[in-house]
Amino acid sequence: MTEFRTVKSSQIILKELMIPSYSNFGGKVHGGIILSLMDKIAYTAAASHSRNYCVTASVDSVNFVNSVEVGELVTLMASVNYVGRSSMEVGIKVYSEDFKLGVNKHTNTSYFTMVAIDEDTRQPVAVPGLILEEDIEVRRFIWGKFRKQFKAEYRHKFQALHQDLDIATETGNLTGENCQIALP
């Protein structure tokens, strides 16, 4: 595919009021509610860039740096940072606004990898490239390229470890860990 689209053409903002049914037993908003909104906006940005059906291939670690309260307005901002052949990294920033205090706090930032899929063959399909019009877009593309590379290396190393790991030896190496071996 030789088509290219600007970053801005698929950038998106989603706002949602945190209603009481979103809360957990502690009265805060469930992390899963925020994750679901993040998946929704990641899909929208990726589908908008590729103009194709997409699936979530992976989600980077999500660290919640601030809790979200019922009654707050959550804002999610998503942007396609990087594209490969069929995959797109969508960067998502989440903020939560307390109306009474007038405070806008950063909740988390994460990266979703979405893959465009042909709905008939169910195989990954090529997506348009990105037109990078600003320095920040170039920087995000470069960081996305490295994240993709590091994640692939991690996946390969972990797969190799699965094949080679000697559980008996590793069981003996658990001294000092927070567990008790109570095998029958």
Ligand X SMILES: CC(C)(COP(=O)(O)OP(=O)(O)OC[C@H]1O[C@@H](n2cnc3c(N)ncnc32)[C@H](O)[C@@H]1OP(=O)(O)O)[C@@H](O)C(=O)NCCC(=O)NCCS
- Output 55 or 138, the one with its CB closest to ligand X: 55
Query: Which amino acid belongs to residue 175?
Result: T
- Output 18 or 78, the one with its CB closest to ligand X: 78
The residues of the shown chain that bind ligand X, judged by CB under 6 A, are 55-58, 84-87, 113, 115, 124, 151
- Output 51 or 85, the one with its CB closest to ligand X: 85
- Output 53 or 64, the one with its CB closest to ligand X: 53
Tell the smallest beta-carbon distance from residue 111 to ligand X (Å).
10
Tell the smallest beta-carbon distance from residue 121 to ligand X (Å).
11
- Output 82 or 95, the one with its CB closest to ligand X: 82
Residue nearest to ligand X (CB): 84
Tell the smallest beta-carbon distance from residue 180 to ligand X (Å).
34
Residues 6+ apart with CB under 8 A from 127: 1, 49, 50, 52, 83, 85, 86, 87, 88, 116
Tell the smallest beta-carbon distance from residue 134 to ligand X (Å).
23
d(CA 181, CA 184): 9
Q: Which two tokens stand for residue 97?
A: 């606004």
d(CA 129, CA 145): 13
If one counts every other C-beta atom within 10 angstroms of the C-beta of residue 184, the result is 2
Tell the smallest beta-carbon distance from residue 29 to ligand X (Å).
22
Identify the DSSP state of 10.
G
d(CA 119, CA 79): 24
